[in-house]
Amino acid sequence: MTVYLLRRLVQMVPVIFGITLIVFVLLRVSGDPVLLMLPEDASQSQIDTLRRSLGLDKPIAQQYLIFMGDLVTGDFGRSIRYGNQPVLPIVLERLPATLQLTLGALVVAVLISLPAGIIAARNRRRWPDYSASTLSILGEAMPNFWLGIMLILIFAIHWQLFPVSGRSGFLSVVLPAVTLGTGLAAMLTRLMRSSLLEVLSLDYVRTATAKGMRPRGVLLKHALRNSLMSYVTVLGLQIASLMAGSVVTEQVFAWPGIGLLAIQAINSRDMAVVQAVVIVASIIVMLANLAVDLLYAVIDPRISYS
């Protein structure tokens, strides 16, 4: 187990390396940071001095090494917008809000898709199945930010059950989480249904039914666990798109997470913040994927990572 965990963490290194390379290249082509930091009437010697003090006069490969060295020691640069503060604490401070939102969306997705998928599979080609399929195709076709605006219109403005925007207690997370979770719920419902149908047609399930076991027992004891494997796999793969979707959702609900921070930073060309958001978000996605892989062993006892 420990060996497996270590190996997986080591495998992340080249990916993180690649991400930093992408970020570094993007940052360098985004224009001369020196010109952004100095007033427009700065003299050439002032520009040169600042450039030297920032190490921007060195060869590009050396700059990358310095950049990497800074990252490893937790120095992600300083923000132009937030009074020259270090960037990493700014991002980490916003992180809990985003995690709360994505976790909430995950809960919404599972709470909808698990029962809906099971009911659809058990009532194959009857109305519960058809309505689940229709709703899930709709859920996949709908852009989540539009759903968010419609939810605000109905539940926050018309009925005033939830706050319109912002992060203030449990009620405020409901609409954003539903907004972000619906697309995933739709996809997982279809997946749960099809993988359960596949398992239900297998011989061992027929045997269990033939020996007189009640349908509920067959489902809960035998079929469900095996159909959960592909469900969990896709759930893990979708965590990245959940994080991505949260950017838009945060904008709709003025939710103070890293997505909103990223948009504001991009609009004000605060590239150090943007770079920190990209790296932090990617590392979270990778850690989440690792966590999902470990979950396999819980679901399927045949899998062990020792």
Partner 1 sequence: MTGVLRRTFSAPTAVAGLVVLLAFIVMAVLAPWVSPHDPVTPNLLSRLSPPSWAGGDARFFLGSDHLGRDIFSRLIYGTRVALLVGFVGVVMAATIGISLGLAAGYFGGTVDNVIMRVVDTLIAIPNVILYLTVLGVFGPSFTVLVLVIGFINWTTFARVVRAEVLSVRHREFVEATRALGQRTLVVIVRHVLPNVIAPIIVVATLNVATVIILEASLSFLGLGVQPPTVTWGRMLADGRGYIATAWWLATFPGLFITLACLSLILIGDSLRDALDPRLRGR
Q: Exactly one of 77, 208, 259, 276 binds partner 1 (CB under 8 A); which one?
A: 259
Q: Which of residues 44-103 bind partner 1 (CB under 8 A)?
A: none
Q: In this complex, which beta carbon is closest to partner 1, that of residue 108 or of residue 278?
A: 278
Question: Using the rule CB under 8 A, is 262 a contact of partner 1?
Answer: yes
CB of 17 to partner 1, least distance (A): 8
Amino acid (one-letter) located at 197 = L
> Tokens for 200?
């239900």
Tell me the β-bridge partners of 78: 86
Burial (0-12, 13-18, 19+ Cβ within 10 Å), 304: exposed
Sequence-distant contacts of 106-110: CB under 8 A, at least 24 apart: 106/181, 106/184, 106/235, 106/239, 106/242, 107/177, 107/181, 108/177, 108/178, 108/180, 108/181, 108/182, 108/185, 109/181, 109/182, 109/184, 109/185, 109/188, 109/235, 110/185, 110/188, 110/235
CB of 74 to partner 1, least distance (A): 20
Q: Kindly determine how many residues on this chain lie close enough to bind partner 1 according to the rule CB under 8 A.
A: 54
Question: Using the rule CB under 8 A, is 160 a contact of partner 1?
Answer: no
Q: In this complex, which beta carbon is closest to partner 1, that of residue 29 or of residue 298?
A: 29
Distance CA 112, CA 185 (A): 6
Q: Which of residues 17-36 bind partner 1 (CB under 8 A)?
A: 18-19, 22-23, 26-27, 29-30
Question: Using the rule CB under 8 A, is 138 a contact of partner 1?
Answer: yes
Contact residues toward partner 1 (CB under 8 A) are 14-15, 18-19, 22-23, 26-27, 29-30, 124-125, 137-138, 140-143, 145-147, 149-150, 152-153, 157, 193-194, 197-198, 240-241, 243-248, 251-252, 259, 262-263, 266-267, 269, 271, 274, 277-278, 281-282, 285-286
